[in-house]
Amino acid sequence: MFVPQSNTEYWFRILYDCLRGLCYGSLSVNEFFSFLTHIWLWIILIGYILSVVGLFFIVYITMRIFQLREREKEYYSTTIPEPGKETISPQWQRIESLAGGANASEWREAIIEADIMLDNLLEKQGYVGDGVGEKLKGVQPHEFGTLNEAWEAHKVRNQIAHEGSAFNLSESLTHRTIARYASVFKEFKEI
């Protein structure tokens, strides 16, 4: 089997002859360098064009990223209340509107809703039990400044739950009870 061998001396001789102008006709060294200079000018021109196109592309992409960030900010942003401004939860607003109603059924609903809100508050604070009463029994008085207010309000809720429409609920009792719930919620910054 024939294995071709590379003759490096032969290839260097061809390269040397081409540089001296002996290959492919009569190309002199000066003509060769002028040809390389001409090619180099085209490479520089193409490089400038690509740089300008790349710069416009970078500016365009940067503007699109800022637009995307603005849309994300609008979509994912949460409203942070300004210092000194109080925010009232929608649940508490509903309770207040029911308490300001004209009939006893709305007042009952307001007190029951407020007790549910109290149950959620106690659960958030880590108290356990089957209902508000059991959770309030687990509260230490030094941890809960408005514990008596919570008990008094919860007692009214229990009377409403057990007696139903037979319980004589007045407007003044409703306002006192809702005020007691409000003092508890204000202590824990729920409203």
Do residues 21 and 57 both lie within one domain?
yes
What pLDDT was estimated at residue 121? 93
> What pLDDT does residue 88 have?
73
Task: Tell me whether residue 22 is in a domain.
Answer: yes
Helical axes 90-99 vs 171-187, angle rounded to 10°: 160
Tens-digit pLDDT string for the chain (191 aa): 555 666 788 878 877 777 666 665 555 667 767 777 888 899 999 999 999 999 999 999 999 999 999 988 887 776 655 665 556 788 999 999 999 988 999 999 999 999 999 999 999 998 998 999 999 998 988 888 899 999 999 999 999 999 988 888 999 999 999 999 999 999 988 88
Tally Cβ neighbours within 10 Å of residue 129: 15
Cα separation, 112 vs 95, whole angstroms = 9
Tokens of 140: 């230490």
Tokens linked to 62: 């940067």
Please check whether residue 84 lies inside any domain of the structure.
no
Q: Give the residue from 76, 99, 129 where a domain finishes.
A: 76
| Residue 1 lies inside a defined structural domain of this protein | no
Give domain status of residue 153, yes or no: yes
Same-domain check for residues 140 and 59: no
Residue 108 and residue 178 share a domain? yes
- Say if residue 22 is in the same domain as residue 110: no
- 99 neighbors 174 (Cβ within 8 angstroms): yes
Structural domain tally of the chain?
A: 2
Given this model, what pLDDT does residue 23 score? Answer: 62
Range of the domain at 132: 90-187
Angle of helix 171-187 versus helix 147-163 axis, rounded to 10: 140
- Domain assignment of residue 69, yes or no: yes
Residue 160 near residue 170 (C-beta atoms within 8 A): no
CA–CA separation, 74 and 170 (whole Å): 46
83 in a structural domain: no
| Pair 107, 70 in one domain | no
* Nearest CA among 88, 109, 89 for reference residue 98: 109
| Cβ atoms of residues 122 and 154 within 8 Å | no
Residues 180 and 100 in one domain: yes
Residues 6+ apart with CB under 8 A from 122: 129, 132, 135, 136, 139
Helices (H), 77-170: 90-99, 104-124, 132-137, 147-163
pTM greater than 0.85: no
Same domain, 183 and 108: yes
Q: What is the pLDDT of residue 136?
A: 92
Residue 124, domain member (yes or no): yes
Residue 3, in any domain of the structure: no
Q: Supply the DSSP symbol for 100.
A: T
